[in-house]
Structure 1
């Protein structure tokens, strides 16, 4: 692989103009495609074939509930008055009529309709259900703004008026101030690492090209399939983080080669052949982890994983083609001004004393370092034992959606924001529903049960159940199970339970079943890959065990902040509560791949030193001194990018981004830079042991030994032509 990438680096710089033009055309084509082909996204996390999803489909078919997005416009009368008073009733009727005229609206219910009233028992609060002709994710910004403007104007009258619902919830987007701050922080880290704004800017620009193509590709895909609204954000977040890091590793190796006296062409080719090999291997690890999400059999999770994996592929291709092409244009400008004309081999002069001191302290005090790391990570992981998850999202505090839900909860009870629906079909469904109503009403957490509503043919019926507790509460989740148990004992019709909380329960159950299978598959494939990279059994095992410690610590910190409320102000958290159900499995997929990135970049330099004949502990020190500065910079950059997505406010992305940011810090600075070298120092030569019966395994040569050995057999002339001839043999 190293020889192949060496030749690729030579070709990229030889045809640099063509390479740059191809990537720019791809970026422009993506922009045109996204502008003309992109479609709506979805906020639904249901899984086809589950009880809750089947019931939703049947309700839509039998009761013509439609697939349109809805909004609830909540109105409250002035203090001391009731909505049923003649003057107020006229105001309600006028507001409903105005809502019916909104663009895209099919109907707006009258809350004072005696046949189906939606008014509180004290007659002070009511809500109108507004139904659109477009589905969830298809509501245009113009339609959403029109509704919000109408509600805002109505709120200035005698009533207090707020609105909630999926129809008025804006699709999350990328490019807010938090993300911008993260990119600026990454630029600062790059500038300090390189000592050159030119190199730092070039790194960001090439990464931007890759993530732009990836994100635009996801946008194009929405025109042909239904994707989650968070898919593009997840792909952008990962693509930006790894794109910057992968370019950083190649640029850093190129700068090392230049300082050691290589000419520009040889330096670029060597950087692509060595650091590029590590980039490809690391990217493959992340790719396996993300594509592996498809084995759990959950469509929306598969889409997220494949979209993010495709963005990773683009980032790797940019790093090994576009980066060397641009480097050939910059020449020695990638070095700080003082080093551009400095004599060769200036690495020792520029090395910071902190890294040699750090690694010597870790290797000499390897047992205390191991024990302290294990205890610290174990303590941070403790809160993970009480982790709760849900798919029910709570609107941000201070928004009209949050105020509307609070008004409903105050007047109707918490459960009105997450009603459950029992659906009956076959046999004498209406009569069975009538019998079930009495049994349902006797359950502990049930506040209200509506009379059965039969369909037009009389062979199906539905019952709405209003819980006492809120939709994200453990009590309501328990009620879903109790309802299903209760209905199983009633004969006469087939029954289903659906609703927001029921969908959340079903998805959580599927994720719990899939998680062990996914973990074994991803870890197993990555172990095989790492064995090929390091030709060792213990190094990959220690690396994977270190990841499990990272995962526990990241989940523990996330639970402490998002569920317990510790330091919630720091992350701009409005309300505490269960984590989004996707957080654990996405963390495993993403964080495992990124953790193995640092394992490969750091330990491969140690393996390279050991391969050249260094003693085990000297190899650890040598490899650490070479790789640690760039790994530190890469970790800080990745942390900055992920942390930039935390304050934005989108509940789905916020907890995932926070967990990834914490996981990156823990993995890079504790697991890879303390625990891993301490364990290797303790193992000594045994760390690099490979059983004889595995000697037939191919070597991936991530360190580029083939290039180094070929260079050493040259006659020393430094001719590009000789080196190319040798490498190609």
Structure 2
């Protein structure tokens, strides 16, 4: 029978010998005092946003790798000749026809103005391409370039105005890209996500009131969460993408949590419970599932700290703060809103059949569950085949750093990158956008410096993949030998990564053997490659921590060894499939034009680690919501087939709707101008839709039907040791 929202006689809840739980009492209290709770949340949201503005949040993607080639080389330069360690960037001048030297007066005027800019410590001599069409100078700064802010670009534009007026084009490269890029503005993506979610909720719930309630509560919690993230960023520097990530995760889980609570409340109202009892029951049942799901997400995200990279750990912290605030809102603000709306939840209906839990044994979801129960092997094999197909590209994944070559065509940073890469001559070519600085520590040298310099120059010249190298020169104090190596390929290519390994593992150690010296590679390109290697090395640790924590939590909650093992294995499949899609889209370039990309790029080195934590946490949401309803029926009937069928019937429609809404929210962020945000958005969207449909609605029931009573196996001795935690 179709679900109807017609009012039913009030039902008195059955007596509970143990008395109502804390969550039940919390929900009932919020339902009795909705205006006070809502007012408190609005005040909290306003205070958090004002606090964020007051503390002056700081964001930076700077990564420290103590003991690495990059850090050691930089420290040696700083101690020997601080000027060599100064932050620097390139200002590139280009003419489409003729030569830059034909505009000599304008160029000279611009260079003079650049040298007079505040914080500019030095302007190098111009380096000109063979055809004379491109010239660049290197600006050294007396403080970190990022600290100058994007507004400093206006000063650069003013200084180079004489050249521009003479029809010379100007671009900014090197580390100047950190301020020359247009600041990422994801407000449009956030607005699209909200509108898309509103439409999806309206279609799903079939009434304006029911659609607006999850959206409104999610927006309040997200804004409060962003305020908290901003306050934390005032004392603890977070990554630049932290607010966007927090907004994306917070909005997605906020709508999901509110959707599950609203759906359960709606069913209880249809079953005849009065408003306060329905809210209390909803908070005690679905609210507990929300709490466990939020804890699982938080554990997965905070495990990122185990990688030892503060930038990644703090990204996880920002997302965790958003999830924590959202979960708190789900347990207080949503019950208050439900108590305020009450039986008017279906006000302004746009269609007859609403989304709510159903318990009819003949509904479509029961029939679907029966079909899986009759052919579990067929569904299992078909589902695994689709997941394996999506995951296949994973085996060719190449991690790297997305350089200026992926910036929008025509932007100052992309122009500078292309002009340098396309020009001929010393100091030009693709590798000029990602050079290596070789620092040789001469402290214990047993050979003359000139001989070491000659041997080093010959060795670098004969190394495959090296386009050129400057003559090794000693620093003023004679403690170091310094040279700059230009690869034949661009900084984000696999060949440049291979050259880095060749230099550090073979060329430099072999050349300096028995000389009493040690060489280090430093510079931004080296730092990016070492960051990549560090992330790759520590990813298994993160995966292990998340798997173990999730397994233990689910074992305690569901009193089973098989259910949590199945859950973590299937979540690994989901993650692998989402990785595969990312490789196909971004690395292979399939459909990259639809995302506004100019060509294939490697997978940003920290994206897989971030995605694993987020995907695993979010996929556990659906796992817990489904399994909690299956377990509820299992502990009542001890009939595995009936439990799986009823759990699928009660949650299948809601999980599907929730997944579609979260997918729409994530996909809206794929329009972000930041490539890393595009990657995370698409990867999360794919993982959510695969997990909520193929995994939760096909693989999980098929496996549970095949395993039968074995799903709930737990040794008695272990059952006695484990703490009790109901969902």
Query: Please, what TM-score do these two structures have when normalized by structure 2?
Result: 0.89
Deviations 1:300-358, CA, capped at 9 Å, x for gaps: 1111112211221111111101111222222222234579999xx99659999653443
Structure 1 residue aligned with 2:430: 414
Q: By how many angstroms is 1:363 displaced?
A: 2.4
Asked whether the 8 Å contact 1:250–1:275 carries over to 2, the reply is yes
Asked whether the 8 Å contact 2:149–2:179 carries over to 1, the reply is no
Bigger mean CA offset, 231-240 vs 220-229: 220-229
Distance 2:678 2:261 in 1: 31
Secondary structure at the counterpart of residue 332 of structure 1: helix
Structure 2 residue aligned with 1:94: 109
Q: 1:382 aligns with which of 392, 397, 416?
A: 392
Q: By how many angstroms is 1:579 displaced?
A: 0.3
Q: By how many angstroms is 1:276 displaced?
A: 0.5
Asked whether the 8 Å contact 2:49–2:226 carries over to 1, the reply is no
The 1:131–1:32 alpha-carbon spacing in structure 2 relative to 1, beyond 3 Å, is farther
Gaps of 5+ in 1: 113-117, 703-729
Gaps of 5+ in 2: 1-17
* Alignment of 1:487 onto 2:487: no
Q: 1:450 aligns with which of 466, 470, 487?
A: 470
Q: By how many angstroms is 1:173 displaced?
A: 4.0
Asked whether the 8 Å contact 2:106–2:162 carries over to 1, the reply is no
Q: 1:404 aligns with which of 402, 416, 425?
A: 416
Distance 1:362 1:660 in 2: 27
Asked whether the 8 Å contact 1:573–1:649 carries over to 2, the reply is no
Q: By how many angstroms is 1:149 displaced?
A: 6.4
Distance 1:181 1:689 in 2: 46
The 1:168–1:466 alpha-carbon spacing in structure 2 relative to 1, beyond 3 Å, is same
The 1:337–1:658 alpha-carbon spacing in structure 2 relative to 1, beyond 3 Å, is closer
Distance 2:349 2:638 in 1: 32
Q: By how many angstroms is 1:506 displaced?
A: 1.4
The 1:366–1:613 alpha-carbon spacing in structure 2 relative to 1, beyond 3 Å, is same
Structure 2 residue aligned with 1:675: 699
Secondary structure at the counterpart of residue 495 of structure 2: helix
* Alignment of 1:139 onto 2:148: yes
Structure 2 residue aligned with 1:73: 91
Structure 1 residue aligned with 2:530: 506
The 1:82–1:21 alpha-carbon spacing in structure 2 relative to 1, beyond 3 Å, is closer
The 1:555–1:434 alpha-carbon spacing in structure 2 relative to 1, beyond 3 Å, is same
Deviations 1:273-317, CA, capped at 9 Å, x for gaps: 100100000011111101111112111111111221122111111
User: Aligned Cα RMSD in Å?
Assistant: 2.8
Structure 2 residue aligned with 1:478: 498
Q: By how many angstroms is 1:168 displaced?
A: 3.1
Asked whether the 8 Å contact 2:99–2:134 carries over to 1, the reply is no
* Alignment of 1:212 onto 2:223: yes
Structure 1 residue aligned with 2:13: none
Structure 2 residue aligned with 1:242: 253
Secondary structure at the counterpart of residue 495 of structure 1: strand
Distance 2:331 2:583 in 1: 38
Deviations 1:236-276, CA, capped at 9 Å, x for gaps: 21111111111111111111111111111111111111001
Distance 2:342 2:144 in 1: 54
Structure 2 residue aligned with 1:523: 547
Bigger mean CA offset, 378-387 vs 179-188: 179-188
Distance 2:320 2:637 in 1: 37
Structure 2 residue aligned with 1:120: 129
Bigger mean CA offset, 490-499 vs 172-181: 172-181
Asked whether the 8 Å contact 1:43–1:136 carries over to 2, the reply is no
Secondary structure at the counterpart of residue 301 of structure 1: helix
The 1:298–1:430 alpha-carbon spacing in structure 2 relative to 1, beyond 3 Å, is farther
Q: By how many angstroms is 1:396 displaced?
A: 1.9
Structure 2 residue aligned with 1:157: 166
Secondary structure at the counterpart of residue 75 of structure 1: strand
Structure 2 residue aligned with 1:719: none
The 1:665–1:314 alpha-carbon spacing in structure 2 relative to 1, beyond 3 Å, is same
**What number of residue pairs does the alignment pair up?**
692
* Alignment of 1:558 onto 2:582: yes
Structure 2 residue aligned with 1:586: 610
Asked whether the 8 Å contact 1:77–1:88 carries over to 2, the reply is no
Structure 2 residue aligned with 1:265: 276
Distance 1:626 1:637 in 2: 18
Distance 1:643 1:691 in 2: 44
Asked whether the 8 Å contact 1:333–1:340 carries over to 2, the reply is no
Structure 1 residue aligned with 2:306: 295
Distance 1:347 1:630 in 2: 8
Distance 2:356 2:483 in 1: 77
Deviations 1:166-207, CA, capped at 9 Å, x for gaps: 343447545333332222111112112222222322212221
Secondary structure at the counterpart of residue 463 of structure 1: strand
Distance 1:194 1:409 in 2: 54
The 1:601–1:169 alpha-carbon spacing in structure 2 relative to 1, beyond 3 Å, is farther
Distance 2:92 2:57 in 1: 30
The 1:405–1:152 alpha-carbon spacing in structure 2 relative to 1, beyond 3 Å, is farther
Structure 1 residue aligned with 2:14: none
Q: By how many angstroms is 1:11 displaced?
A: 2.7
The 1:111–1:358 alpha-carbon spacing in structure 2 relative to 1, beyond 3 Å, is farther
Query: Please, what TM-score do these two structures have when normalized by structure 1?
Result: 0.89
Distance 2:693 2:276 in 1: 34
Structure 2 residue aligned with 1:308: 319
Asked whether the 8 Å contact 1:71–1:167 carries over to 2, the reply is no
Q: 2:631 aligns with which of 607, 616, 622?
A: 607
Asked whether the 8 Å contact 1:392–1:501 carries over to 2, the reply is no
Deviations 1:557-614, CA, capped at 9 Å, x for gaps: 1101111111222222222021001121111111111111110001211111222216
* Alignment of 1:109 onto 2:123: yes
Asked whether the 8 Å contact 1:172–1:230 carries over to 2, the reply is no
